[in-house]
Structure 1
């Protein structure tokens, strides 16, 4: 005896259809409302700055003090250095090249780090040290061409001659890798292999 609490087959179908219809409709409605509208996710108008109101420089403003003296014709600018000062610095050097007076603590730290007596040939030593690595390392393009790691010359082995060589090695008791391998010709390279 089948007991289904008074629900017939057609009623069960409509209940099952009805129970899956609402979640599907809700998902569709939410996704449709998210696609429309004027702003992000349809939640309002997007506020962006006016492209004509945005300027790269601040606008000119009249200073509140109108008693500023106008510049005199031919007078030097306030931020400009005198030609005499520039020439003296070029001839006699700047004050930046003068030796720095160091405290006893600074001298102790620099002496401990061996920074007070630098090696005059340090550039040559560094160049010599790292030029060894440059010769050993392969270039960038050689490192990414993984398919060319083997020998540059590829050849096709003559199958009959190789079989004869292996038989002779077996009869003579030699290892299979002893002897000269006979090659028919070099393998033909494809267009891409020739380019790379």
Structure 2
């Protein structure tokens, strides 16, 4: 009896290794698996050591350096543009005015009923959006 149970167990375990029959299953191909090479950060040969007496990287203003990298510094203005800016009072403008222009606490000058009508006019070029010039 023992021999029969042992033979049945051996046959069942060997049948799992076969590729046909009741216990057929897909097996991974052990030769298709390969090892990936480890990730390596290549050296940056463009980096040079700092020159003696040069300012350290911690003292450089990063926001100013980023603005110069993006926009390339101030652009040269034509004489006409410079004259227009001077006439508009370029030197009197507050440096942070653009940050506070949309602030709800900003006081604005009342421009009158005509300005309110223009701002509240509907978009488009339909009949309601027509403008007329009054005769003088």
| TM-score, normalization by structure 1 | 0.16
Q: Which of 1 and 2 has greater Rg?
A: 1
- Which structure dedicates a bigger proportion of its chain to helix? 1
| TM-score, normalization by structure 2 | 0.22
| Higher RCO structure (Cα 8 Å, ≥6 apart) | 1
